[in-house]
Structure 1
Amino acid sequence: MANHQLLGVLLLLLGLTTFCLAAPPTPCSTPACKSAAAYIADAMNATANPCTDFFAFACGGWQSRHHIPDWKSRTGTFDALNDQMTAQIDALLEAFNVSGHGHSHVKSSGSVAYGAYLYQRCNALGIDQEDAVALADLKDVVKEVIGVWPIGQGQRAEKDKSWAENIVKAFVAGISAVFQFSIQPDPKNVTVNKVVLDPAAQGLGDKELQNLTANAKEITAYKAYIRSAAKLFCGANCPTLEEDIDDIIHLESALASSKLSVEDQRDPETLYNLLTFKQLADRSKFDFLAHILIPAVKALGYTPTAQPTDQLIVSDVNFTIKAVSIISSLKSPDRTLANYIINAAYEPEQNSITIPAGILKAPFFDAARPFAINHGSIGVVIGHEFTHGLDDQGRQYDEVGNLKNWWTPAAIKAFSERSKCFVEEYGRQVEKITGLHIINAAYEPEQNSITIPAGILKAPFFDAARPFATNHGSIGVVIGHEFTHGLDDQKRQYDEVGNLKNWWTPAAIKAFSERSKCFVEEYGRQVEKSTGLHLNGQNTLGKNIADNGGTHESFNAYKARETASGASPTLADLPKFTSDQLFFLSYANVSDPFD
């Protein structure tokens, strides 16, 4: 959930009003209530006036003690809870007793023990050894994808390789370069999957790359980053390094400048362009099917079945056409693209699984209960993840995480035959998995569903033992936020089964547009102090609608519960605040002041 210094129109109308009135019901002094009161008090700046600056009053103390680290772009309550979860995972795996046991014994003693063993083995590497291993892995990937990273070395990557072949090699290695292909449900018929072609992300943000002069500070830092990475390969003798870096920057800038505006990227209808492969080839003067998809499918060990008359969804047709022209007109397309691929899009594979601390408790795991119960719960979960290493995708990576065809042809054929029963049984189901440890929530328009992971169901977001006003002000607003996304300016365009469909009447659409203008204008007046830049209220409209709508609905639900079951208790350690005020203080506490 995003948040801004403005906590919302409703916060002003409802929250500030409550701070001018006071009639507290029964106070609560249980341990849970004391903990909730301490968290709220610690986050506050009691010297601020809540009727003139509620943000400073509710969050000023927290903000003064938390600053954005150099290695992060933001920080907030979500980030703090995520850091706490990560620390718990590290501590749990590090404390697991695997010492004195050999590799074979630990491996046979259970998946949890073996996972802890692997974690501790990796953690035992010194930083220098970790860096050496990581660099060796990177060089292996570079060799597999482009042969030699030519940056700074005055030589071509592979003289007989076209730029399209470089993209194919990158695609097979799991790297999206210039173009990103995926298989997704058709937004207008979610029972059918289609190939989707999107622009790939650049090494730096599009906004910075679109204007190199105005963002000279960021570009200089980006060049320094590329330079430091490149010197790991070309060493002290890099005669063409600066020229190569400039080529990368200008290629990325040209690609970023060819994309749809941020406003247009938020419109699902604008992003829905159904073309045949032949139509795309005719418009772009490049045959994506023949030169990229078919070679990539073959390289992955499959038999291509797509035909020129088959359809795909192209999210940004103009970008796709321009990108082909931009690359083709480069002075040295294969060399520049090889440098671009390795610099901007490398993400190493680790042949590992993650077992979050959030799941290592009842009902999934309890060391004190019979091991048969643990094997039937957490054992199945871990077995599921280990088995992914031998599924139709995971089997294509070797024991150290390199993409490598290590199965015999007979084994591949047997695997394909035996897996047909799963394809037939499950048909076209699309599985969306969210880790239980995730500190967030989500609305999926294609499924018309929301996901609330277990990781977020803890303080300060939720605690069943504290007053329900505080829960409604925190996790209630989060849930309301996700529900309201179903009717924001983007997601309202999807129907009840998740299809992109214009199901609103023209009068309803007109009224929605008129009423949403207040959010665009209100948030557009907000200025980021360090840069002096105004927030773009149109680009943040979906989040702003969800923030305000979620707060409104959760507050209504809280008041309905009070009507049905009596007033929510107050907090004994914060006696001057009413339940209504605690609702808004709790909301402020789970909002991210730096997001």
Structure 2
Amino acid sequence: MPSTRVLVRQSPYQYHCSWFHCISCLCSISVLVTILVLAAHSIYVYPSCEDPSCWDFTTSLYRSLNYTASPCDNFYHFVCDGWKSSHGPNEFVFSELQAMVAHAAVNSLLRVGHAPSLRQTAVQKAAVMFKTCVQVFMNRVDNTDSLKSFLRSLDLLPPRPETVDVLDVVVGLALDWNVPVFLQMSVEHDTIMDGMQTLYFSRSRHLMDWFLRRSRMEGWALHNYVVTCSQIVDYQFNAEALIFFENYIMSSLGALTETAHVTHTIKIADMENHTPGILSSEWLDVINRHLPEAALLKASDTIRVTDIAYLRVVSETILDDRRRRNGQLLLYVAWFVIQFLGPFASLSLVTPSFANVKDARNYIFFRCFEELNLLMPYAFGAPFAVESVPVKARDDVLTMVLVVKNALKESFLKSKWMDNATRSIAILKLHTMRTIVAYPDMVINALDEYYAHTPDSSAVFLDSRMRAWYVTMRSRKDRLWKPRAFDYDFRLTDVNAFYQPLTNTMIIPAGIINSPFYSAKYPLSVNFGGLGHVIAHEIVHGFDDDSIREPKDGLSRDWWTMDARTQYEQRVRCLKRMYFPLGLNSYDRSGRHVRGHRRLRGSRAGPEGVPFAAPEEQRQRQPRCAAHEPLYRRPGLLCDELLQVVFESQGGRPRIFVWRAAVQRSAPEHSRFCQGVQLPPK
């Protein structure tokens, strides 16, 4: 009995003690969950809905319309006034879709499970790299030691040998590591040499982007940024001298725009005619140091140079530095490498160049996304593409392609100006045009083989990035001077579509096979009005004036008869004159080419919407073109055919499905935001 009484007296204590443990446990779990939620929110700032079927653009479309304007009087103001009032001039209607696709792609990649350190699959390589890059974004790692080691390997940090040549360093950074200081150097198909793999030079896009970002910084902020970077890498830059020198670089290189898109073919032996102070033999020697033996250049070989005036100024800058002999340009190269690779090394290397930490993190996240999407586009986008575009959706899009092709074939057959010889080749080219929907088939069955050359990813993103790019650039250089292969090289996450003339291939990435362009829930007419319009645009690119010399095999040879060409060029001149009042001043009023850059190419492939966007005063000046009367001058077309907006009753309110935006930056301001969509009958 005593023992029983003791137990009775002790039981309340034990009861309260167990409650105390339970409450403590629950509190601990709550705190842990809160921390995880906050951490996850700071990483995954993405929409809660990742299924494209729930991406509803109805609200955005309602806000875009101007209900006080009449669509028959001014279609542009009716559709775009609401959008323009709430968005900047550089934003486009489907930028929201691109952001959603990017977020969904990142989430799909982050869900990839644990990866082994060896023998990783292609998707695992991409996933590990992106996750380790996000660690920099979260300020959980600091890879500045890896950055300093890379700088020392190139003799960019003291003590520095006097024999270091700035031209060799710049070429090596571009050709070996894909770090474009002044020049972007790549191996691409040469359209002039029937697709032979050729070396291309162009201006560094990142350098131009940095100039633009720097121009928005306060002077003290730029000074602090340089000082902070120098302290982190243990090398004291003279901030004032470096900023002054960069001002000189910006004034020399940043002002060139007229020739930015003009590409020339240049013999190595003739390089010295375009690069003052740098002989052709020196170019040959420096480039060959960074090429594999099987791809070495000869003086008689050619390279492709985009923006030759920019290359000249770069050469003059190098020549001027050689005359001064103060190593200032080499010091600037070191600074640029730190600034370029800084987002992959440490948050503290980026934060001083932004107004706040949030902007710095957003920039790092953007650079991580772009870097992986450029380095391994198929592995990076494969999880998203396969999830978001099921087999049925691919089949539906292929069916749409066949319908549009048949419509164009019927147009060829009914053409009164195209002779039989030209028509037969045009139809053959149309029939043999390949179509890639969502992703290449090898993404399903040969992705690991495609990226077999890419090394396994490590726990340090910067190390993984440098190793992967070195091997990738070596693989591309091995293909120099070899015939073209049927490769694709496109990003699965792009909300866009493409036509490759060299392979006569139309590419429709997974990114654009989403609402509002396409949805399995939409009626067929709506999908044709959205994605079908894009498909037609890309198909017609195979027959615009940049591709008419390329038959079905993509080789450049003239397959037009003289009479058909005369008839075609007459209509092209008329179309150019029609577009002249819209501000596309690459052509004079006679249709003669003015500046050497074909800015109307995309418009000629699909001009149906642009004329509707012309202001009323410009419409009055619009020239008549006989059989090619501008669409808006045809009675009744605007109200009866163009403005066939599909409505669906939803809660008593009309739901607008059809919406298309033009992202062609060469078009005038008012036509970049939105263009009319002409739907098929019924």
TM over 0.5: yes
The 2-side partners of 1:500 and 1:252 are apart by 39
Deviations 1:272-304 (A, max 9, x none): 3342x2222355455676545544544566466
Q: Report how far residue 508 of structure 1 moved.
A: 4.5
Deviations 1:207-259 (A, max 9, x none): x88xxxxxxx9735387775454223324996732332222232233234456
Cα deviation for residue 576 of structure 1 reads 9.9
The question of 1:545 aligning with 2:604 is answered yes
Is residue 197 of structure 1 aligned with residue 197 of structure 2?
A: no
2:226 paired with 1:166: no
1:312 to 303, 315, 318: 303
- Pairs within 5 Å for 1:563-582: 571-573=648-650
Alignment of 1:263-412 (within 5 A): 265=261, 271-275=263-267, 277-281=268-272, 284=275, 290-292=281-283, 294-299=285-290, 302=293, 305-330=296-321, 331=324, 334-340=327-333, 342-343=335-336, 346=340, 354=380, 355-360=382-387, 380=445, 382-384=447-449, 386-390=451-455, 400-403=464-467
Identical residues among aligned pairs (%): 17
Range moving further from structure 2, 488-497 or 81-90? 488-497
Q: What is the CA–CA distance in structure 2 between the aligned matches of 1:571 and 1:493, rounded to whole Å?
A: 45
SS of the residue corresponding to residue 264 of structure 2 reads coil
What is the CA–CA distance in structure 1 between the aligned matches of 2:184 and 2:123, rounded to whole Å? 36
Larger radius of gyration: 2
* Aligned mates of 1:168, 1:34 — CA distance in 2: 45
CA contact (8 A) 2:454 2:468 kept: no
Structure 1 residues 398-440: Cα deviation after superposition (integer angstroms, max 9, x where no partner): 9633349999xxxxxxx99xx9xx98xx964152222333221
Distance in 1 (alpha carbons) for counterparts of 2:111 and 2:509:
26
Task: Return the alpha-carbon distance in structure 2 between the equivalents of residues 111 and 38 of structure 1.
Answer: 39
How far does residue 140 in structure 1 lie from its aligned partner after superposition?
3.7
Spell out, residue by residue over 1:137-166, the C-alpha distance to the aligned partner (whole angstroms, 9 max, x if none).
Answer: 443443334522xxxxxx896533222122
Contact 2:277 2:319 in 1 (8 A): no
Deviation at 1:521, TM superposition (A): 1.7
The one-letter amino acid of 1:593's match is: F
Cα distance, 1:461 vs structure 2: 0.3
The 1:362/1:293 distance shift into structure 2, 3 A limit, reads: same
Indicate the residue corresponding to 2:536 in structure 1: 480
Quick one: distance in 2 between partners of 1:205 and 1:121?
A: 25
Amino acid aligned to 2:487? E
Tell me the SS of whatever aligns to 1:438.
coil
1:143 matched to 2:152? The reply is: yes
Deviation track 1:455-508 (CA, whole Å, cap 9, x = no partner) reads 211210012442333223221222223234345565556565445567684674
Tell me, yes or no, if the aligned pair for 2:180 and 2:206 is still in contact at 8 Å: no
Residue correspondence of structure 1 range 13-162 to structure 2 within 5 A: 40-41=61-62, 43-61=64-82, 67=87, 74-94=90-110, 123=134, 127-130=138-141, 132-133=142-143, 135-148=144-157, 159-162=162-165
Q: 1:139 and 1:117, CA in 2 relative to 1: closer, same or farther beyond 3 A? A: closer
C-alpha RMSD of the superposition: 5.3
What pairs up with 1:516-527 in 2 under 5 angstroms? 516-523=576-583
2:188 to 169, 174, 184: 184
Q: For the residues of structure 1 that align with 2:391 and 2:118, how far apart are their CA atoms?
A: 20
- The SS at the match of 1:548 is coil
- How many residues are treated as equivalent by the alignment? 479
Cα gap change, 1:304 to 1:541, in 2 (>3 Å): closer
- The CA deviation string for residues 177-215 of structure 1, in whole angstroms up to 9 with x for no partner, is 333433333322324333333344462369x88xxxxxx
Residue 467 of structure 1 contacts residue 570 of structure 1 at CA under 8 Å; is this kept in 2? Answer: no
Residues 363, 377 of structure 1: 8 Å contact kept: no
Aligned to 2:525, which of 469, 494, 497? 469
Match of 1:232 in 2: 228
Could you tell me which runs of 5 or more consecutive residues in structure 2 were left unpaired when the two chains were aligned: 1-52, 345-370, 393-440, 586-594, 612-627, 632-643, 664-670, 676-682
Output the CA distance in 1 between the equivalents of 2:287 and 2:566. 45
Q: Deviations for 1:323-346, whole angstroms, at most 9, x for unmatched residues?
A: 323321244574225415642883
- 1:472 maps to a residue whose letter is F
Aligned to 2:179: 175
Say which SS state the counterpart of residue 196 (structure 2) adopts. strand
After superposition, give the CA deviation of every residue in 1:352-408 in whole Å (9 maximum; x if it has no partner): 85244122368689xxxxxxxxxx9877455246524159xx9xx99633349999x
1:399-438 equivalences under 5 Å are 400-403=464-467, 428-438=484-494
Contact 2:662 2:674 (8 Å CA) reproduced: no
CA contact (8 A) 2:129 2:464 kept: no
Instruction: Quickly say closer, same or farther: Cα 1:180–1:293, change in 2 above 3 A.
Output: farther
* Alpha-carbon separation, structure 1, partners of 2:120 and 2:546: 50
Q: For residues 674 and 325 of structure 2, what CA distance do their matches in structure 1 show?
A: 43
Q: Give the 3-state SS of the residue equivalent to 1:312 in structure 2.
A: strand
Alpha-carbon distance in 2 for matches of 1:226, 1:544: 41
From the superposition, tell whether residues 340 and 481 of structure 1 become closer, same or farther in structure 2 (CA, over 3 Å). farther
Give me the whole-angstrom Cα distance separating, in 1, the residues matched to 2:276 and 2:650. 71
Contact residue 283 and residue 321 of structure 1 kept, 8 A? yes
Q: Tell which deviates more after alignment, 32-41 or 484-493.
A: 32-41
CA distance in 2, matches of 1:337, 1:507: 57
- Partner of residue 572, structure 2: 512
Given that 1:358 and 1:437 are in contact with CA atoms closer than 8 Å, whether structure 2 keeps it comes out as yes
- Which amino acid letter does the alignment assign opposite residue 601 of structure 2? G
Per-residue CA distance 1:99-148 (angstroms, 9 max, x = gap): xx8x65x9899877887677667656772224x33x44443443334522
462 and 249 in structure 1: CA distance in 2 versus 1, 3 angstrom threshold: same
Deviation, 1:522, is 1.7
Maintained 8 Å contact 2:495/2:509: yes
Partner SS for 2:269: helix
Q: Could you tell me how far apart the structure 1 residues matched to 2:446 and 2:127 are?
A: 15
Q: Once the 2 structures are TM-superposed, how far is the Cα of residue 322 of structure 1 from its aligned partner?
A: 4.5
CA distance in 1, matches of 2:133, 2:256: 43
Q: 1:156 to 1:166 in 2, by over 3 A?
A: farther
- Whole-angstrom CA distance in 2 between matches of 1:589 and 1:278: 43
Alpha-carbon separation, structure 1, partners of 2:469 and 2:84:
51
* CA separation of 1:228 and 1:398: change in aligned 2, threshold 3 A: closer
State how far apart, in whole Å, the 2-side matches of 1:474 and 1:162 are: 54
- The alpha carbon displacement at 1:548 in A equals 1.9
CA contact (8 A) 1:33 1:465 kept: no
SS across alignment from 1:272: strand
Contact 1:166 1:334 in 2 (8 A): no
- The one-character-per-residue Cα deviations of 1:81-111 (angstroms, maximum 9, x if unpaired) are 2221232234445556x5xx8x65x989987
Give the TM-score normalised by the residue count of structure 1.
Answer: 0.63
Separation of aligned partners in 2, 1:93 and 1:312: 38
Does the 8 Å contact 1:45/1:56 carry over to 2? Answer: yes
- The letter for the 2-side match of 1:230 is V
